[in-house]
């Protein structure tokens, strides 16, 4: 079970059954938590991109699809953010969380400016479920 809670202006957080935050939405950006390493973040970014891409295409038939090239994935820093990209499109921001956390990394996907709050919530739910399956940690037990 995933709970969606309001979290200030333009924000929501998604919690698992134990009350642990697994994702957040703020200003049309979806951040997914629970990644143990930079390599783990890079390894799941394309699968989660496919989930987001499908939601955006369903909601906006004119959405221009992008198929990331897995072999070309790398990190770049634009001066403000660290991005995971395939060299053609920035896919997700990489966040290094506070030191001492068991899962010190998060990734954040930025939605287009025309995406509504409802689209963001729908995408975040599906992406959290997909990440759960990729990491093999049930949402209800994490």
pLDDT tens digits, one per residue of 34-72: 999 999 999 999 999 999 999 999 999 999 999 999 999
> CA 89, CA 87: separation in Å to the nearest integer?
6
Q: Is the dihedral of CA 24, 72, 51, 38 positive or negative?
A: negative
> CA 44, CA 26: separation in Å to the nearest integer?
21
Is 141 a residue whose pLDDT tops 60? Answer: no
Residue 28 forms part of a structural domain:
yes
Quote the pLDDT of residue 142: 47
Cβ atoms of 85 and 76 closer than 8 Å:
yes
Residue 21 forms part of a structural domain:
yes
Total domain count, the chain: 1
> CA 2, CA 19: separation in Å to the nearest integer?
9
Quote the pLDDT of residue 139: 53
Residue 67 forms part of a structural domain:
yes
Residue 127 forms part of a structural domain:
yes
> CA 46, CA 73: separation in Å to the nearest integer?
9
Lowest mean pLDDT, pick from 10-19, 91-100, 112-121 = 91-100
Average pLDDT over residues 110-126: 96
Residue 52 forms part of a structural domain:
yes
> CA 72, CA 94: separation in Å to the nearest integer?
16
Query: Which residues, listed in sequence order, are joined to residue 92 by a DSSP beta bridge?
Result: 84
**Backbone torsions φ then ψ of 26, nearest 5 degrees:** -145, 120
What tokens were used for 92?
């997700």
Residue-range definition of the domain harbouring residue 10: 3-135
Residue 140 forms part of a structural domain:
no
pLDDT mean across residues, the chain: 92
pTM above 0.85, yes or no: yes
């Amino acid at each position: 079970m995933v709970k969606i809670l309001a979290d200030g202006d333009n924000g929501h957080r998604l919690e698992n059954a134990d009350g642990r935050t697994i994702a957040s939405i703020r200003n049309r950006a979806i951040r997914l938590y629970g990644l143990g390493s930079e390599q783990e973040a890079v390894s799941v970014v394309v699968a989660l991109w496919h989930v987001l891409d499908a939601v955006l295409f369903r909601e906006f038939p004119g959405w221009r699809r992008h198929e990331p090239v897995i072999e070309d994935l790398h990190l770049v820093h634009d001066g403000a953010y660290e991005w995971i990209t395939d060299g053609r499109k920035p896919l997700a921001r990489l966040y290094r969380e506070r030191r001492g956390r068991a899962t010190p990394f998060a990734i954040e996907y930025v939605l287009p400016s025309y995406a509504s709050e409802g689209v963001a919530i729908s995408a975040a739910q599906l992406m959290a479920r997909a990440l759960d399956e990729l990491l093999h940690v049930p949402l209800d037990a994490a």
